[in-house]
Structure 1
């Protein structure tokens, strides 16, 4: 029996992958974060499935549910919002399942930053403007950041930066980045990307904090910073360039 870590996507129920949906439909036990995972996805679970909202469970309780279910010969669908590869707390669950001898696999999902870029109608990597995307967060009321991963250090590259779990600290984010990126650097905040109540705020490092406070955005949002957000004068990608040598 297997624990299936499944990326549920950024919010819209129809952004789960076909593989994720099939695994969900075949698993008699489903653990999900009720505050983040679209409730419509639970209708894909098989009739009579045991549905466990993990919102009020600690890590040991969550893993215990998985171990118990697999011990009974049941596959488990573990739904995570976005994609399990970033900011999902999957690593510590895997570590415990390894210790318990429980097999697992991972099905990727649409990450929040990709959904935000889609909603903004922008590519985050633009030729000769930005070719690197930094995914990061801030450390207040969360696990400490490793040395060298503070925003001021990361911002020195002026790469496109996407911050998760940071909108509540928008003032501190701006203060950390404005020296490297400049006050006129474009910024977008996308709250609840892909959901019916999605909200997009656009501005610059000079004014985005005020826009966030005015809109009352406090959670479930990503902050995107960088010149790629508004770039219009740039060369075509080499892949499609008319000057590229063709075989």
Structure 2
């Protein structure tokens, strides 16, 4: 069996229990060396073969998984965060399907969840935003025209932007073109939950200068929206005047 395992956002103890148990049993681990915390490899047994996928092609990764599985081994493909977000897992699954190799996916904690935890904030504040847009700037890999940053920013929703830390001048411009006022709160979270995590609070207009001042060029999430501000409405769920299926409203 091949297991695609989410490694979590960075801290070695933020992998799921299921993911950690699979690492302990694995005969082959292929991990995204440029992003996954190597401390996670300490879960593996001494006989486990470990490959860093950073220097491998898709075909080489698939060949290694197939060979290990055909030899009766348990394979863990260790992806950063959760495999479903910018994990490039679907293309691996297609190759495994062609070889009739069985696989399962083990969910992980995404870095966008880790970033919110580090910031001690909530993305979906009543009266502020009930929608989270996860996207990225167009770079060497393009995005569909309807998903350009200016188009997404026009919704005024919470935005979490991956793979964009090296394009902040353009990102700032596109956010403002989409209707974000220059003073809209923003945060740069470098290596969320890692020991060397760095958090920079800034504004949409100052994203690029804030990153430069703090030496951040990559491996950072960009968070944008008024959820980073101070104002929001109280949740109805715990409002004493609100009735729902588990509680009657208190009479005044």
Pairwise CA distance, 1:236: 1.5
Does residue 97 of structure 2 align to residue 93 of structure 1? no
- Residue in 1 that maps onto 2:25: 26
- Aligned pairs for 1:19-168 within 5 A: 19-142=18-141, 144-168=142-166
Q: Distance in 1 between matches of 2:165 and 2:186?
A: 12
Pairwise CA distance, 1:229: 0.7
Q: Distance in 2 between matches of 1:71 and 1:238?
A: 55
Q: Distance in 1 between matches of 2:144 and 2:205?
A: 28
- Residue in 1 that maps onto 2:227: 228
Aligned with 2:236 (options 225, 235, 238): 238
Is the 1:8–1:110 contact (alpha carbons within 8 Å) kept by the matching residues of 2?
A: yes
- SS of 2:147's equivalent? coil
Deviation digits for residues 50-88 of structure 1 (CA, Å, limit 9, x no counterpart): 111111001000010001111111110110011111001
Deviates more, 1:55-64 or 1:237-246: 237-246
Q: Distance in 1 between matches of 2:124 and 2:96?
A: 37
Give runs of ≥4 in structure 1 deviating > 3 Å. Answer: none
Count of residues in correspondence between the two structures: 244
- SS of 2:186's equivalent? strand
Pairwise CA distance, 1:208: 2.1
Pairwise CA distance, 1:231: 3.0
Pairwise CA distance, 1:47: 2.2
TM-score by length of 1: 0.96
- Residue in 1 that maps onto 2:209: 210
Pairwise CA distance, 1:134: 0.3
Q: Distance in 1 between matches of 2:136 and 2:94?
A: 23
- Aligned pairs for 1:189-208 within 5 A: 189-208=188-207
Deviation digits for residues 102-156 of structure 1 (CA, Å, limit 9, x no counterpart): 11111111101111111111101100101000000112122x2123010011111
Q: CA RMSD in A?
A: 1.0
Is the 1:84–1:108 contact (alpha carbons within 8 Å) kept by the matching residues of 2?
A: yes
Q: Distance in 2 between matches of 1:159 and 1:121?
A: 19
- SS of 2:212's equivalent? helix
Is the 1:202–1:208 contact (alpha carbons within 8 Å) kept by the matching residues of 2?
A: no
Q: Distance in 1 between matches of 2:98 and 2:139?
A: 31
Q: Distance in 1 between matches of 2:189 and 2:130?
A: 21
Q: Distance in 2 between matches of 1:62 and 1:231?
A: 46
- SS of 1:114's equivalent? helix
- Residue in 2 that maps onto 1:16: 15
